[in-house]
Structures are given as C-alpha cells and as structure tokens.
Structure 1
C-alpha cells in the first residue's frame, strides 16, 4: 500500500494546523471520506449524528489524488507534484467551513479535518485500523474510480472496521435491518445491528435468506420449497440469544427462500440502516466477482453498514 505522503489536520474552530501526538492518532474515531460532493455532505451529517450518540470524535478526510494520477508524467522520472496552490487554498477553506459548521450543529462532537496526498480508497483503508467506523457517501469524486472500482466498494471490502455507505433518506423512525447467513461473522453483524437499533430506539428486523432450489440447468424452473426446521435452528438460536441480550429492542425475525441480495434490497425500502457482513476475499475477487454486500452498496434503498 502506498505510504501517505503528507497529513495536515485542522480542529473544529481552530482555523490552524495541528500536530497530532501518538495518543490522538491511536484514538478510536469516526472517519468520513469527504470530497465536498452532495453525497459526502450526506455522509458528514450521518457521521455527526452517529457521533452525537456515541461521543466519539469525527475526522473528515480529504485526499489529494490528482497529483498522484498522472499517466504521462509517470512514464519518465519527475519530482513529486504538489496540488496547485489555489486548489490547496480552496480545499482548506472548504474544510475550515465544514468543521466550523459541525461545531455549530453538533456542539457536543469533537470534529476535525485532515488532508492526505494518496488515493482516497487506500488512505481510508490504511486509517481504518484506528477507527470505529469509516463513513462514505454513495457517490464521490475519485481519480481512480474506474480503474479499481468505486471507493466504497474497495473500502468496504478491505477496511479494518465497519464501513457505512450513506444512501437514501429514510425516516428516523424506521427499523434497522440486518441480514445474516449463518457464517462465522453473523454474531458480530447481529451485535452491531442491535447496538444501532438500541441507540436509535427503533425495532430491529433480522432476515436470513435461504437459496431456492433450482432445476439441474440454470435455464430450468425454480422449484418452490420451504425453510425446514433443521435449517432454521441455527438462525432461531442466534435470534433467541439476541432477544435475551437486548430485551429493550423489539426484534422480528424472518427466514425466507430467496436470493439474499434480492430479499435485502426489497426489505431496505422500509429501513433506515441495513447491516450486513463482509467476507473480504481479496482485492480482485472482491471488486470484480461481486458479492451480496457489494450488490447492496449499489442498490439498497437505505444506508448500508458492512461489518468485518
């Protein structure tokens, strides 16, 4: 992974640069990938609301990618290229305004902004091992989006902490939705979803989707079937443990016969947050082969949290 070339930070309301000590660098925080786009502004708002519930600091991270992505210059030896001064000044003013506004709208949240000279996805993955959450908009500006896939896809596949991709505009009273598949990550996914539902004082809906039976060939008809009691038992046991641990949450559980991507996409229309797991099987496979979580990042009607 390329080393971040430089890091500059501003604290909310300070208007100047900060030198971060080792204790601050190791503090768990919510990191927001920020580029000034409408989607990034939505992500910033979501992160500040989350931080107001958890009392965690928020860092808005802007990546200067343009000087790194210069195919013509990369063919010959050349000195390092810095962003133009006017661009740096524009970004600095944007971030100062962002943290000042955050201080006004969420006075109880510690907010700061930082810049890096690195590809956005790689910078966020690198910093995610010091974060409780990475929050992204569903669309953003990236110089290498078409080369490696979207930033959200790369970060959600390889981050060291849960990744939230903000989508839609669901009402705050709608449930938290969680999809589990019986894998080893299911308990962690359920735990994260329950914490989110409890913090929002909304119901939690749990879905486990079992694949339908099909004929021998893909072109054959789908054979209707039901989920057997034996298939449901691990799912029911997990939900039972969840209800015992969180009696304060209204929990509903559904075991359906349907492709999980289709079932969760449909259910997301009536939820404010969809929580799923990630199996992270490597950069190429994760980005090119696709998965349930990657499908939901593109098609969910609500915000998606991918839990590692």
Structure 2
C-alpha cells in the first residue's frame, strides 16, 4: 500500500499524481489520508460551534476530489481514503507503518488546515518507517534517470534497494553519487599520491556497495559518480536532470561524507525533483 497525504493544495495534488503513477508501476493500492487538525481552531477568536463539522466536511471534500484525480490518471489503481483526527505529521507516520512508501507534497497551503507544511515533511521524512517521497508542485520532463546518494554506512543499503527498484520499474538509468570533502591537514599539505589513493578507495567502496544490487537488477544501467564536493551540492546538481533523488535518512560510516540528516534535509529543500528519504 502507498499512503499519500491530502490537504487540497496544489502541492498535495502533485503528490497524488506521483503516487498514483507509482502505485500503477508497483501494483500497489493507494490510500489517501486527510488529517483533521483541530488545534489551530481551539482558541477564542474562532467561536463558531459548527467549525469542527465544517473541518470534517472540508476534509471529506478534499478526499473526494483526490479520488477523482487518481481515477482520472490511473483508473486501474485501487483507492481507499482515511479521514483522521490529529496532527498531520503523526497521522502520516502512523498510516505509514504498514505502507511501502508515504508520499507528501513539499509544502501545502490548504484553505483550512495548511496541513502539509515544510515542517511536517521534515518530521515525517525523519521518523516514518517507510520510505517518504516529497514531491514539489509543477510538471517536470521525464529525464530517464534516478539519482541515489551512496556512502559506506549501513543505512545506505535500504536507500540503494529502493533506488534500484524504482530504476527497474521505470527502465531508468541509475546514477550513484558519492561526494566527499577531505579534512583540513593539521600540518603541511596533502601529497598528490595520497589524494589519488583516497579517491581510488572511495571508488572501490561505491563499487562494492552497488555490486549486490547490480546482480539482483542486471538490466539497470548504473553510472558511478564519485565527486570531490559538498554532498548537498553534488546531489542537488546531479538531480537537475533526474526524475527522483533517493537518499538515506542518516549515515554514520567511516567515510566523512556520510548522508547525515542535514544532507537529506538540505536536498529536500533545494532539489527540484521529487526526493525519497529512506531510513
């Protein structure tokens, strides 16, 4: 099952369209979730006693419109809905416990709840058990390439598994990007042969990380891209012509460019294509 957040915004509609296409490719049912967050209305300046019912009616209307959008885009995809009470971030995390992925808009400014704000995306992507795909609004051309960040941390393997699966489903090229900054030398300067050895070691590490997945997905064309650069900058540049960027939610391997939470958060806010964050 794929869970997608709904709030009536343009960004949420973009997320629904992306999720509907992915549900079709993955042969998964789609669950549309609207979170009724009453907290903003439990203050004195909103005295309307009918407001709670109005909130639910607004949510149900958004869900009905979302179902129609999915049926228009992918008629064969099975769709269910959920109108849940509570903060959007918590509701989406709970709904995502049994999901293969959670899809949300990058920023939602719905007329009532403003549900899928950037902070909600941060909380969901950082804590959800399933992969979380953050989709920006607007149409993008199909470039036929998926980008994945690679490091030597144990947390990188789930991100690679998801990226290879997506590349296989889309018949896309997979660009595996590893970026690092060498530490400042305490005394003297780094010798050329030391820099060359460092690069070779990193290239070997990337090849070793990819090898099990290459065997499992022999038809996926993989480009190994090792760069001396800032991780956020390298991934953002590589994703300019990508359909999807995949990163781990954190990494604590021995390589200094491991994909920490700050990296996944940085690319979500600077990358034009959808970003999948995989724990």
Report if TM-score (shorter chain) is over 0.5. Answer: yes
Count of equivalent residues: 260
* Distance (whole Å) between structure 1 residues aligned to residue 50 and residue 268 of structure 2: 33
* Residue aligning to 1:101: 69
SS in 2 for 1:114: strand
Q: List runs of 5+ in structure 1 lacking aligned partners.
A: 1-28, 74-80, 282-288
* Residue aligning to 2:130: 161
* Residue aligning to 2:255: none
State the Cα distance separating 1:254 from its structure 2 match: 1.2
* Distance (whole Å) between structure 2 residues aligned to residue 208 and residue 240 of structure 1: 15
Match for 1:54 among 16, 20, 26? 26
* Residue aligning to 1:240: 211
Q: List runs of 5+ in structure 2 lacking aligned partners.
A: 253-259
SS in 2 for 1:171: coil
* Distance (whole Å) between structure 2 residues aligned to residue 89 and residue 280 of structure 1: 43
**Greater Cα offset, 175-184 or 97-106:** 97-106
* Distance (whole Å) between structure 2 residues aligned to residue 126 and residue 222 of structure 1: 50
Superposed, which structure 2 residues align to 1:63-142 within 5 Å?
63-65=35-37, 67-69=38-40, 72=43, 83-141=51-109
Give yes or no for contact 2:147–2:242 (8 Å, CA) kept in 1. yes
Q: TM-score, normalised by structure 1?
A: 0.76
State the Cα distance separating 1:71 from its structure 2 match: 6.6
* Distance (whole Å) between structure 2 residues aligned to residue 212 and residue 122 of structure 1: 39
Give yes or no for contact 2:33–2:63 (8 Å, CA) kept in 1. no
Q: In the alignment, is residue 257 of structure 1 matched against residue 225 of structure 2?
A: no
Match for 1:200 among 158, 165, 170? 170
Give yes or no for contact 1:212–1:258 (8 Å, CA) kept in 2. no
Q: In the alignment, is residue 183 of structure 1 matched against residue 137 of structure 2?
A: no
Give the aligned CA root-mean-square deviation in angstroms. Answer: 2.8
Give yes or no for contact 1:198–1:249 (8 Å, CA) kept in 2. yes
Superposed, which structure 2 residues align to 1:217-228 within 5 Å?
225-226=195-196, 227-228=198-199
Give yes or no for contact 1:215–1:223 (8 Å, CA) kept in 2. no
